[in-house]
């Protein structure tokens, strides 16, 4: 039987999505399985690795069962994943030693502050392009070593393995045969230098992390391993493409040329700009990171991350009961002409770039007796778009050229009101593709390149299709007023 499908595993913060995509980029099957979030203390966010893995197995099963002979037709597997989330497990038994510490987790804020006070922040940024913040993996791994009884001793003896979610998934898919990652995920650990010279001995010593814990790093389109003993999949399917979710989304948006940019509206909002084969150092608090490596060629990016985007909508839904379904926020917010002076700062998990204030917390200001749920809902959408405007304008300033367009994706990109607000606050055209799941599509592209379904990125660029664009329509004076009120509220968060 012909093997002509790519299975993309998109392992995200709140669930796992699997796509089966053919060589003409038609999505022939799609499945999603959520899994629980755990919040043991304020500021702590955890995932149970076994629940996470079960969501992957269930999503795979759902996808292949909806496509005739789908499992037999899979030519390769691509993986994209929530980044920075850190896991540690026993090499022999494969058993996790603790729940995963999620990228949103802030428990190591004090440790990061101590390292800053000791003067290590500038050196870390020089080596890795990252800001010293609990967001990244290094302090999470150190916390696990220091707080799980016996972990440090086992790690130093080589009995433990650690990694980001991609590493854990490949370990599971290969029945423990491969302990690997690639540069886009490695570059988010705060242990991998931008020059790609290998895990930094200097940083490993600083964070007191044994090198024996860490995976081998390969380029994004190599064969990382083959499936073994995975329910619903035959043995021997190559895992041939991996990238962290935001880099994968940039790749799936066909942003292959320097200057092209995208913003993914998921749990958080993640803006990324292709800067080409040379890293650009930010003077605005943005991150310099690896986009992807294909062969010997590495593409670098500037990135700005807002920790709350879709998660803000979920909070209004689940925490405050504003609506039953997330998509109901758009008609509710559109039912009023403005937010009546209300400003929502989505800093529930701290503020990321360009502010980098882990101590900040969410804020609703400007409440009066006349304010309704609709005004707060609209202010929430404005808050998501305003924080992204700060990020993207900082990127353009670092690169020295204004954005001419922004490609958008992720679940919340289906919200037309949010997209229009984003275009208005940026004064830039937004381009929304026909396939919003571009994070998974990037994994498809990389896996297909890895096994030779596609020979180069030119074919993929030609296949990208526009669904709709959004051009600015809001009065500039109104935009200025809203942005001024936003910046004032951010200072209070």
The total of other beta-carbon atoms located within 10 Å of residue 49's CB is: 22
Structure tokens at 81: 């994943």
Strand partners, 404: none
Per-residue model confidence as pLDDT tens digits over 29-62: 999 999 999 999 988 999 999 999 999 999 999 9
pLDDT at residue number 196: 84
pTM recorded for the entire structure: 0.86
132 φ/ψ angles, rounded to the nearest 5 degrees: -70, 105
C-alpha torsion angle, residues 43, 389, 433, 34 (rounded to 10): 10
Nearest to 388 by CA among 361, 364, 410, 373: 410
Please report which confidence band the pLDDT of residue 69 belongs to, taking 50, 70 and 90 as the band edges: low
If you average pLDDT over residues 18-36, what whole number do you get? 91
If you average pLDDT over residues 108-115, what whole number do you get? 94
pLDDT of 311 strictly over 70? yes
Distances (CA, A) of 392 to 46, 104, 263, 384, 478: 29, 21, 9, 13, 19
Per-residue model confidence as pLDDT tens digits over 356-372: 787 889 999 999 999 99
**Environment class of 179 (CB within 10 Å of its CB; exposed 0-12, middle 13-18, buried 19+):** buried
Cα(489)–Cα(487) distance, integer angstroms: 5
Strand partners, 407: 262, 431
Tell how strand 429-433 and strand 466-470 pair up: antiparallel
SS3 306: strand
Give me the CATH topology for the region 5-244: Nucleotidyltransferase; domain 5 (3.30.420)
Give the domain ranges of the chain.
5-244
Structure tokens at 96: 């996790």
């Amino acid at each position: 039987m012909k093997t002509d499908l790519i299975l993309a595993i998109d392992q995200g913060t709140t669930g796992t999505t699997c796509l089966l995509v053919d060589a003409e980029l038609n999505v022939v099957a799609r499945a999603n399985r959520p899994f629980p979030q755990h919040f043991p203390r304020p500021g702590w966010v955890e995932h149970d690795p076994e629940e996470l893995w079960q969501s992957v197995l269930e999503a795979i099963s759902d996808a292949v069962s909806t496509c005739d002979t789908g499992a037999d037709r899979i030519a390769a597997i691509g993986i994209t994943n929530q980044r920075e989330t850190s896991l540690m497990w026993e090499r022999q038994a494969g058993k996790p030693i603790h729940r995963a510490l999620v990228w949103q987790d802030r428990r190591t804020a004090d440790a990061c502050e101590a390292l800053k006070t000791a003067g290590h922040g500038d050196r870390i940024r020089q080596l890795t392009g990252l800001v010293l913040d609990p967001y990244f993996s290094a302090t999470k791994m150190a916390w696990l070593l220091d707080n799980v009884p016996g972990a440090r001793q086992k790690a130093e003896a080589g009995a433990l393995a650690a990694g980001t979610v991609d590493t854990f998934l490949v370990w599971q898919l290969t029945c423990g045969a491969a302990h690997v990652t690639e540069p886009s995920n490695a570059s988010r650990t705060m242990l991998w230098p931008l020059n790609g010279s290998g895990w930094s001995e200097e940083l490993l010593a600083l964070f007191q992390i044994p090198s024996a814990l860490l995976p081998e790093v390969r380029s994004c389109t190599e064969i990382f391993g083959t499936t073994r003993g995975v329910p619903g999949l035959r043995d021997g399917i190559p895992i041939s493409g991996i990238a962290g979710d935001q880099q994968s989304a940039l790749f799936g948006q066909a942003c292959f040329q320097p200057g092209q940019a995208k913003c993914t509206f998921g749990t958080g909002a993640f803006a990324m700009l292709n800067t080409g084969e040379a890293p650009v150092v930010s003077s605005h608090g943005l991150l310099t990171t690896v986009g992807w490596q294909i062969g010997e060629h590495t593409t670098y990016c500037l990135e700005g991350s807002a920790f709350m985007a879709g998660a803000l909508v979920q909070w209004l839904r689940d925490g405050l009961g504003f609506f039953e379904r997330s998509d109901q926020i758009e008609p509710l917010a559109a039912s009023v002409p403005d937010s009546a002076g209300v400003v929502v700062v989505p800093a529930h998990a701290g503020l990321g770039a360009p502010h980098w204030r882990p101590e900040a917390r969410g804020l609703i200001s400007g409440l009066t007796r006349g304010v309704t749920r609709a005004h707060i809902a609209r202010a929430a959408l404005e808050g998501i778009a305003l924080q992204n405007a700060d990020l993207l304008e900082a990127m353009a300033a670092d690169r020295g050229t204004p954005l001419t367009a922004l490609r958008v994706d992720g679940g919340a990109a289906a919200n037309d009101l949010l997209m229009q607000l984003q275009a208005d606050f940026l004064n830039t055209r937004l381009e929304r593709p026909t396939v919003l799941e571009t994070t998974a599509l990037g994994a498809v592209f990389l896996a297909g390149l890895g096994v030779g379904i596609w020979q180069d990125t030119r074919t993929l660029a030609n296949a990208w299709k526009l669904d709709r664009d959004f051009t600015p329509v809001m009065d500039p004076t109104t935009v200025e007023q809203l942005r001024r009120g936003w910046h004032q509220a951010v200072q209070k968060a």
